[in-house]
Amino acid sequence: MRNLIAFFKRFQIFLVFVLLQIVALSAYVQYSDFARLQVFSSASRINGGLFEVRNSFTKHFNLEGTNRKLEWENARLREKLKISNYKIDRELIQIEDTNYRQQYLYMAAAVINNTYDKRNNYMTIDIGKNHGIRKGWGVISSKGVVGIVHLVGESYSVVKTILSKNINVDVSMRDGGAFGLLKWDGINPKICQISGISNDISIKKFTKVITRGGSGIYPKGIPVGVITKRKSIEGKPLWDLQVRIAEDFRTIQHVYVIKNVMLDELKELEGRIPPDKEEEDF
C-alpha cells in the first residue's frame, strides 16, 4: 500500500495529465453521445447570448449583400404566387387540393456565429428547443444546402455545416441521376467532394448537383453545387468529383431549418428492412 501511494506521488503530474487528456479527448471524439456536453457549446444560453450581441453589431456589415439575396428570393417566390399567374381554368373546375399534402415545413433563422476554415465547421443559429427544433433536421439557405442540426439548446442551436468530416449528405446529379455522398476534405471552403459514383457512369463538367432526398432530411432537388473537376481514383472504379458548392459560407446570414412531417414514417418503414444475414454466415 505504501508503495502504491509512493508510486502515485511520484507520477502525480503525469497521472493528472493523462486523466485530463482522457476527459478532453473522449469528449472530442464522441461528443454527439454526451448530452451533458451541450453546456459546453455555443448552443448554451450564455455563449449564444454573447454571440447574439456580437451579431447585432456585425450583421450590418453585409446588409447590402443580404438584402440583395433576399430580394432575389422574394422575386422568385412572387413569381410562384397565384396572382402572378394567368388563370386558365376560369372557375370551370374547382380544384380542392387533396392530391398534395405538406411534407416539408420551413423555419427562418439568423446565423449568429459561423466558421468555415476549421476541419469541422459549425454555425450557431438563433432558434432552439423553444421553437421546436430537433436534432438531425436539415438546414438550407436561399442558395443551397447548408448542413444538419447537431445540438439543440433552449433558444439556440448548433448546425454542423457541410464543411465537416463525415457529413455524408445524400446527393445526386440533376441530369442522369447518379447518386453519391457529399464529403469535405478540409482544404477549400468552396469545394466539396462526392464519393461513391462508379466511373463507368459518364458525368460531364458543370453538371448541376442536387440533394437526393433519400434520407428524408432535405427535400429532393435542393441545389448543392456544380461539378468542376473529375478524375478517376487510381486503383478503384470510382470517380473523384470536385463540386463547387452553391452557398458561400463566408457571407451566410439567414438560413431555413427544414422539418419533415413524414420523417418518422420513413424511418419506421426503413427500419423494417431485415438486416443482411448472408454476411453473418460467411
Binding site for another protein (CB under 8 A): 12-13, 16-17, 20-21, 23-28, 31, 34, 37, 39-42, 44, 47, 50-51, 54, 115-120, 122, 124, 158, 185-187, 189, 250
CB-hemisphere CA count at 13 Å for 173?
A: 20
- The minimum distance between CB 254 and another protein, in angstroms, equals 18
- Beta carbons of 143 and 223 less than 8 angstroms apart: yes
Please report, for residues 193, 210, 214, 234, the alpha-carbon distance to residue 199 in angstroms, rounded to integers and kept in the order given.
Answer: 15, 19, 22, 11
Please report, for residues 81, 131, 147, the alpha-carbon distance to residue 106 in angstroms, rounded to integers and kept in the order given.
Answer: 17, 12, 14
- The minimum distance between CB 24 and another protein, in angstroms, equals 4
Q: Give alpha helix (H) positions in 59-175.
A: 63-79
Residue 122 or 239 with smaller CB distance to another protein: 122
- Distance (Å, whole) CA 257 – CA 260: 10
- The minimum distance between CB 100 and another protein, in angstroms, equals 39
Residue 18 or 262 with smaller CB distance to another protein: 18
- The minimum distance between CB 203 and another protein, in angstroms, equals 24
Residue 21 or 198 with smaller CB distance to another protein: 21
Residue 59 or 174 with smaller CB distance to another protein: 59
What is the DSSP secondary structure assignment for residue 238, as one 8-state letter?
Answer: B
What is the DSSP secondary structure assignment for residue 198, as one 8-state letter?
Answer: B
- The minimum distance between CB 71 and another protein, in angstroms, equals 26
